[in-house]
Amino acid sequence: MSSFLLELSYLIGSITFVVGLKKLSHPDSARQGNLLAAAGMGLAILATVLFHEHNGERIGNIGWIAAAMGVGTLIGWSMAMKVKMTGMPQMVSLFNGMGGACAAIISIVEYNSTPPDGAGAGHWLVVFLGLIIGSISFSGSMIAFGKLDEKIKDFSAKWLTVFNLLLLAVIIGILVVAVTSPTTLGPSVLWLLLVLSLLYGILFVMPIGGADMPVVISLLNSLTGMAAAFGGFLYDNQIMLTGGILVGSAGTILTVLMCKAMNRSLLNVIIGSFGGSAAGAAAARGDQTVKEISLTDSAILCSYATRVCIVPGYGLAVAQAQHICHDLEKQLEAKGVEVYYAIHPVAGRMPGHMNVLLAEADVPYPKLIEMEDANGMMSSTDVAIIVGANDVVNPSAEDDPGSPIYGMPVIKVWEAKNVIVMKRSMRSGYAGIENPLFFHAKTKMLFGDAKDTLQKLVGEVKMT
């Protein structure tokens, strides 16, 4: 009966994962999907503690298990409740790294509890792959966390790519020896692979530029899922296997889609990263005239428009201005203006950052228009308002072959009749690339903090 109840719980948990993931595809049902999947995981954990048996014995140390779960829940809950939207990418990277670390620890425990000649090559392959992938995910996620939090700077050198490829080849070579002949290298092989994998994770993420960080976060997430799936293989645990496969496959698909949105291959993202120092030919245009616009003129221009497009970027998250932005949208719609948001797939610093940000402000989901559709609407748009975005509206991607982002699909705001750019200053974006849009004939700059500027603009619109 215990075995039946355990398997039934795992089946129910797996179903909740699948249904929850499906619900995450739409903002209206995302919260429900998240809670459903969490409930399924809770059921699986409870069933494991109550019903799992090994050689006829139930799980012991219930007190320690409960205490560890309590501490982990308290830490995770407090971090999630306190984090701001600007810190969400960092938190995602941190939590993802913890998942990779858990997978690596599982492999370490399994290696130490299995005699070298007590298992076949398949078993050792799963153990070592879990260790390698989990360790890479952990150390890489920690570096991503530091870079997103601006505590670690990019480090790029021509020799680093070659060194990383050699390091990866060494790891694979040791893996082959460890799997085919477990006794050849002895217990040291575990720690050797652990250290080399941690080092590779660090060096793999270090040179990747700011504009590529959303892709890297997605890739690391898929690695954590794969590592968890290997744990499912080790323990013949269906719920771990299902969860790991879902996370790994979803992360991989998202990574591919984001690379497609940037018109770059994954290999190009990893070894040909852009961001940081490259400025491209656009820097030469920096001496052109910048035209400013007043709040009053901006309000008049928007109030008498037929269609207004708002392009959000990371600056909107920094200013915590999403609610004020929604107020502007409602004020303009009250005057009969059609308002929509143009969302670039890699805007912000993690996948879906802008969607989550605007959903928090209760912006209706149908108003969030994907890049391809938004570009089709741009020529019939009277005013395009750029709020904190930079690289995703850079025309260098279209007309400057010397730019590091050349060929990357962007939102073509310059095709609108008027462009208003809200920025604190003329500084370049996260990719470190100059933006000639600021000097475009249709562009007018509205300088200031996004939240304060939008608040004043809402007031002007009300009086227009």
Domain boundary, last residue among 56, 82, 108 = 82
Same domain assignment for residues 47 and 128 = no
- Residue 261's alpha-carbon distances to 22, 317, 343, 410, in angstroms, are 22, 22, 12, 9
Neighbours of 22 (CB within 10 A): 12
Residues 390, 257 within the same domain: no
| Number of domains into which the chain is organized | 3
Please state, in angstroms and as integers, the Cα–Cα distance from residue 14 to each residue in 25, 41, 197, 245, 337, following that order: 18, 8, 30, 11, 46
Give dist(CA 242, CA 229) in Å, integer.
Answer: 7
CA 165 – CA 80 distance, rounded (Å): 37
For 154, counting Cβ atoms within 10 Å of its Cβ (0-12 exposed, 13-18 middle, 19+ buried), the class is middle
Supply 350's token pair.
């993690």
Q: Which residue out of 212, 327, 391, 400 is catalytically annotated?
A: 391
Q: What is the CATH number of the domain that holds 394?
A: 3.40.50.1220
* Statement to judge: residues 305 and 177 lie in one domain: no
Final residue in a domain of this structure, among 212, 247, 273: 273
- Cα distances from 41 to residues 47, 125, 158, 445, in angstroms, run 10, 27, 44, 49
Each residue's pLDDT tens digit in the chain (464 positions)? 788 899 999 999 999 999 999 988 777 788 899 999 999 999 999 998 888 877 777 887 888 999 999 999 999 999 988 887 777 888 889 999 999 999 999 999 999 888 877 788 888 999 999 999 999 999 999 998 988 887 888 777 778 888 988 999 999 999 999 998 887 777 889 999 999 999 999 998 888 766 677 788 888 999 999 999 998 888 888 899 999 999 999 888 888 887 877 666 777 666 644 444 444 444 444 457 789 999 999 999 999 999 999 999 888 888 888 999 999 999 999 999 999 999 998 787 777 788 888 888 888 888 999 999 999 999 999 999 999 888 889 998 888 887 777 778 899 999 999 999 998 766 655 556 788 899 999 999 998 888 899 999 999 999 88
**Residues 83, 93: contact at Cβ < 8 Å?**
no
265 and 286 fall within a common domain: no
Please list the residues that pair with 57 across neighbouring strands.
54
d(CA 111, CA 103): 12
57-58 and 53-54 beta bridge pairing = antiparallel
Examine the fold and report which residue of 38, 56, 82 is the final residue of a domain before the chain moves on. Answer: 82
How far CA 209 is from CA of 165, 204, 405, in Å, comes to 18, 11, 11
117 is catalytic: no
DSSP assignment string, 162-231: HHHHHHHHHHHHHHHHHHH-TTTSTTHHHHHHHHHHHHHHHHHHTT--GGGHHHHHHHHHHHHHHHHHHH
The residue to which tokens 């320690």 are assigned = 64
Burial 351-360 (b: 16+ CB within 10 A, else e): bbbbbbbbbb
Domain match, 35 and 139 both: no
pTM: 0.78
Same domain as 123, residue 200? yes
d(CA 249, CA 347): 22
- Is residue 222 located within the same domain as residue 112? yes
The answer on 93 and 74 residing in a single domain is: no
128 and 64 share a domain?
no
Same domain, 9 and 129: no
Domain extent, residue 355, equals 281-463
